[in-house]
Amino acid sequence: MQPSVVRLGAKDPLPLASLYLVEHRGVLSLVDTGTRGTGARVLKAIEKLGRRPGDLRQIVLSHAHGDHSGDAKAIRDATGATIVVGAEDAPVVTGDAPYPYPRLGMKAIYGHLARFERFQPDVLISERTELDGGLVAIPAPGHTDGHIAVWAPDHQALFVADAVWHLGPLAKSWGPFTANREANADTVRRLADEPSEQLFFGHGPAVRRGGKDRLRKLAKP
């Protein structure tokens, strides 16, 4: 039996970002795309699943940072998948708004991540929305204004992206990379209400059991 969630790493090792192929109710989706050039890894992983590039139905981008959205256009061109983006982050991926530099001293890193091909998203998320195959996009602002999480109910899996980091103990979005810390803290509290067992992160290994309890503990003041 093939795994329902396949974790991949971005081509560029600097951000240490993860992206995920998710099989849910027969629909193949990609949560995040990594940095530019990661698409070849995605296509190879699809092939290993016994699928074709055209079987990828949708690309769900958690947010507009280049370690998560950097190869979205190339992967869409190769597969025909639709791209889902949080509405508040859409102007960044289209190039209609400047790339955000939330904290002084991070400009070199963000300048590196900003170098990706801009694109027009197909679906914008401004409220909790059921996607193709029964995945659910959940607005989760804070890390960026348009950050979204993804809930896979059949797997009891919550893709929290960069709302929570797992490089060491679970931690709320790291301050230097966070647009709005208060909003992010509220997001963690709301995500802790989801009946999650598994947690998948933009940075760090998955939690396979007790996800809801882990988030509730993190959400405490």
Long-range CB contacts (< 8 A, 24+ apart) of 136-140? 137/60, 137/84, 138/190, 138/191, 138/194, 139/86, 140/62, 140/187, 140/190, 140/191
Distance between CA atoms of residues 29 and 101, nearest Å: 29
Domain that holds residue 52: 5-219
- Answer yes or no: are the C-beta atoms of 165 and 171 closer than 8 Å: yes
Better-predicted residue by pLDDT, 118 or 14: 118
Distance between CA atoms of residues 106 and 117, nearest Å: 21
Distance between CA atoms of residues 85 and 114, nearest Å: 16
The crossing angle, in degrees rounded to 10, of helices 181-191 and 211-219 is 140
pTM: 0.95
Number of domains into which the chain is organized? 1
For residue range 88-102, what is the model confidence (pLDDT) as tens digits? Answer: 999 999 999 988 765
| Average pLDDT over every residue of 161-181 | 93
pLDDT exceeds cutoff 80 at 3: no
CATH number of 12's domain: 3.60.15.10
